[in-house]
Homo-oligomer: A and B are copies of this chain.
Amino acid sequence: MSAPRYSRDHTALLLVDPYNDFLSEGGKLNARAKPVADAVNTLANLRAVVSAVRAAQLQIFYVPHHRARPDDFAAWKHPSPYQLGASRAQVFAVDSWGGEWHPNFQPQAGDVVVQEHWGGSGFANTDLDLQLKQHGIQQVILVGMLANTCIESTGKYGAELGYHVTLVRDATAAFSPEAMHAAHEINGPTYAHAILSSAELIAALQG
């Protein structure tokens, strides 16, 4: 797939959930994501993409999942089983190391950290759409974790909202190879505008 043109004025990188619990050794979900992440070289690719995006002076938006508190769902009528599981494990627990950004992905001056999302989509119930509009963004590039959950939900929402959506197949990971396959070969093509490798994206940013 040939890469789109990414204008500095209208393109943003959405960096989804770069938490220690996902990306760092010892993180609560790291062991589950590591086989796929190692196979595609996720961490190195994320570093290279973020670096290229900063060099090209594109805006970066941090898109963070809700940081767990013990009683988050005590009064909810119907949290999903998946939310309850994450709550029991206190994934991305507030004020914990696991809920901090991985050391390689600390926000820099000028980055925007949007509100935390409760489900899978970074747009749902947050200020992401507003922040993107107020920065003139029309195209979003999604990287981070996980390919078939938060990345896919955020990408689908973005497309529904009218954004041009780019997925990066090796700057993300999942809990199984078939989940990666589903994200990029089965579902991605039904909503995304471009599905690139990190190398293809970086070349386009430098072009």
Contact = CB atoms under 8 A, between A and B. Distances in A.
Interface residues of A, number: 54
Nearest to A10: B136
17 contacts: A75-B110, A75-B112, A76-B135, A77-B133, A81-B189, A121-B156, A121-B160, A124-B130, A125-B127, A125-B160, A130-B162, A131-B162, A132-B162, A133-B161, A133-B162, A176-B186, A182-B186
Interface of A: 75-82, 110, 112, 115, 118-121, 124-127, 129-136, 138-139, 148-149, 152-153, 156-157, 159-165, 176, 178-179, 181-182, 186-187, 189-193
A71 B163 CA distance: 20
B134 A76 contact: yes
The 10 closest A-B pairs by CB, nearest first: A133-B162, A124-B160, A182-B182, A125-B127, A78-B164, A76-B134, A130-B162, A119-B160, A125-B130, A82-B190
